[in-house]
Amino acid sequence: MQIIRQIDPLRAAVAALRQSGSVALVPTMGAMHEGHLTLVREAAKRAAHVAVSIFVNPRQFGANEDLDAYPRQLERDCVLLDREGVALVWAPDAAAMYPAGYATNIAVSGISDGLCGAARPGHFDGVATVVCKLFNQVRPDTALFGEKDWQQLAVIRRMARDLDLILPAVNAIIGVPTVREADGLALSSRNAYLSADLRARAAALPRAMQRAAARLRDGVPVAVALAGLAQDLLEGGFDSIDYAELVDAETLVPLDALTGNSARLLVAARIGGTRLIDNIPA
Ligand code: PAF
């Protein structure tokens, strides 16, 4: 497995891989867990070679978010990725990604503004900008992202379409279903911040979402189902709810009725100071 830190060797290495087949990219910020490794395994099914980027992107952290505290464990990550048969790790430092004088920002308006975007202004600009750069740097045939960050996936798909990015097709951006613990909690690096007690209570989130989705399918009005979801979370040990919305899965426009089969339930809620997000089809 090659570990590459500069753009010129990256281009040479990708060109060499291309001689023997397609390349799938899994963009990450490192600190690998089973969710990331699932993306890597899915990528390996879809392309001859898997490239993983590891870059803690400063542009997607807000002023009040602790960029320095974000876990960095490149050596451990590379051991795990090597075991999965990854061909190449692209691990630029901030100066390689954003050289002096860097001045370009990509803002995907509308779809970035609500939900997590409302609580984290500028976050999705940072994501869209770095992912656009990663696509141009690696030029993969396909790229894989976790569905757990549903809004992120929607923003990236919109950005790739709007900018005619050189991926073979829109469906070259693949969303991989969320990996869950036995009690339904979605895997997330943030779960590590929970005490054993809070971790046990956090399973109220997927439970409450499943209950709300079932109630929506039974014809309960959206506002009533969402209020019930919030109440279930508060009774289950959550401190507050940032948002609980039924939205169109692609545009993220809020829905006031369950129509067609493209509705998605998206929730962000806080427990013991940790903000958890999740989403499921409704
Ligand atoms: O989901 C992440 O880990 C990041 O937001 C991404 C897509 C790698 C961009 O930095």
Where do we find the tokens 């919030």? 230
128 has a pLDDT exceeding 80: yes
Can you give the pLDDT at residue 247? 97
Is residue 46 within 8 Å of residue 168, measured between CB atoms? no
Can you give the pLDDT at residue 171? 66
Q: Is the dihedral of CA 220, 221, 224, 229 positive or negative?
A: positive
pLDDT in tens, 11-30: 999 999 999 999 999 999 99
Ligand 1 center from residue 32 Cα (angstroms): 12
Strands (E), the chain: 2-4, 23-28, 49-54, 88-90, 142-146, 173-176, 240-248, 263-271, 274-281
Average pLDDT rounded to a whole number, residues 62-68: 88
Pocket of ligand 1 (CB under 6 A): 27-29, 57, 60, 127, 130-131, 149, 152
More confident residue, 67 or 128: 128
pTM for the model: 0.95
Tokens of 110: 């509308």
Annotation says 36 is catalytic: yes
pLDDT in tens, 157-207: 999 999 988 665 546 999 999 999 999 999 998 898 899 999 999 999 999
Percent over 90 (pLDDT), the chain: 91
Which of 35, 32, 106 is CA-nearest to residue 277? 35
Q: How far apart are CA 27 and CA 14, in angstroms?
A: 15
Can you give the pLDDT at residue 71? 87
Write down the CATH superfamily of domain 189-274. Pantoate-beta-alanine ligase, C-terminal domain (3.30.1300.10)
Residue nearest (by alpha carbon) to ligand 1 atom 6: 28
Which of 194, 190, 160 is CA-nearest to residue 175? 160
Average pLDDT rounded to a whole number, residues 34-52: 97
Percent over 70 (pLDDT), the chain: 98
Where do we find the tokens 């545009």? 251
Write down the CATH superfamily of domain 2-176. HUPs (3.40.50.620)
Can you give the pLDDT at residue 168? 55
46 has a pLDDT exceeding 90: yes
Where in the chain are the domains?
2-176, 189-274
Can you give the pLDDT at residue 170? 47
